[in-house]
Structure 1
Amino acid sequence: MTAKPRTREVVMGRHVQARDVRVWTEQVGDGPDVLLIGGLGDTVESWQFQLDGLADRYRITAFDNRGAGRTARPPGELTLAAIADDAAAVLSSLDIDSAHVAGFSGGSLIAQELALRHPHRVRSLVLQSTFATADEYMRTQFRALHWQAELAPGPREFLEGFFTWVYTPRAHNDGTVARFIDEVMVFPHPQGTEDFRAFADACLAHDARGRLGGISVPTLVLAGGADALTRPDLGRAVAAEIPGALFEVMAGEAHQPFQEVPGAWNDRVHAFWQDTGRQSADPGRG
Structure 2
Amino acid sequence: MTGRARNGERRSGAAVAAPFALPPRRAVALPDGSIADVRFAPGANPVLLLHGWALTADVNFGHLMPSVADGYGLVAMDMRGHGRGLPLGSRERFDIAQCADDAAAVLAALGIERVVVCGYSLGGPVGLEFARRHRDRVRGLVFEATAMAFDSRVDVFGRVLFRGLRPFAQHGRGIGRSWPLSYFRKARAKSPEVARLWPWLRAELGRCHPRVIVDVILAEYAFDFRPHAATLAGLPTAVVVTARDGAVPPRDQRELARLLDATVLEIDAAHDVFLTDPTAYVVATRAAIDHVLGEPSGRA
Match status 1:184 vs 2:201: yes
Counterpart in the other structure of 1:162: 183
Contact 2:142 2:239 in 1 (8 A): yes
1:68-99 CA deviation, whole Å, 9 max, x = no partner?
A: 11221245332101100111111111100001
Residue pairs, 1:1-16, within 5 angstroms: 6-8=18-20, 12-16=24-28
Shift of 1:13: 1.0
Counterpart AA for 1:133: A
Q: Secondary structure at the match of 1:39?
A: coil
TM-score normalised per structure 1 = 0.82
Contact 2:115 2:139 in 1 (8 A): yes
Shift of 1:232: 0.5
Q: Distance in 2 between matches of 1:144 and 1:181?
A: 28
Counterpart in the other structure of 1:267: 283
- Find 1:108's aligned residue among 103, 124, 137: 124
Contact 2:141 2:235 in 1 (8 A): yes
Counterpart AA for 1:13: R
Q: Distance in 2 between matches of 1:54 and 1:164?
A: 28
Match status 1:81 vs 2:81: no
Q: How many residues align structurally?
A: 270
Shift of 1:63: 0.3
Match status 1:28 vs 2:73: no
Contact 1:159 1:181 in 2 (8 A): no
Q: Distance in 2 between matches of 1:69 and 1:28?
A: 20
Counterpart in the other structure of 2:219: 202
Counterpart in the other structure of 1:66: 80
Which ranges of structure 2 fall in alignment gaps of 5 or more residues? 1-15, 296-300
Could you say if the C-alpha distance between residues 176 and 274 of structure 1 is closer, same or farther in structure 2, counting changes exceeding 3 Å? closer
1:210-265 CA deviation, whole Å, 9 max, x = no partner?
A: 211211311111221111110110111111111x31123312x1113233333233
Contact 1:29 1:57 in 2 (8 A): no
Could you say if the C-alpha distance between residues 9 and 57 of structure 1 is closer, same or farther in structure 2, counting changes exceeding 3 Å? closer
Match status 1:217 vs 2:231: no
Shift of 1:9: 6.3
Q: Distance in 2 between matches of 1:257 and 1:25?
A: 24
Q: Distance in 2 between matches of 1:43 and 1:28?
A: 17
Contact 1:219 1:245 in 2 (8 A): yes
Match status 1:55 vs 2:55: no
Query: Identity of paired residues, percent?
Result: 24
- Find 2:50's aligned residue among 37, 40, 55: 37
Is 137-146 or 80-89 further displaced after alignment? 137-146
CA RMSD of aligned residues (A): 3.0
- Find 1:239's aligned residue among 250, 257, 261: 257
Counterpart in the other structure of 1:130: 146
Contact 2:265 2:284 in 1 (8 A): no
1:94-149 CA deviation, whole Å, 9 max, x = no partner?
A: 10000111011111110011111111111111111111111132243465567599
Counterpart AA for 2:43: D
Q: Distance in 2 between matches of 1:188 and 1:264?
A: 23
Is 17-26 or 48-57 further displaced after alignment? 17-26
Q: Secondary structure at the match of 2:29?
A: strand
Could you say if the C-alpha distance between residues 152 and 181 of structure 1 is closer, same or farther in structure 2, counting changes exceeding 3 Å? farther
Contact 1:132 1:208 in 2 (8 A): yes
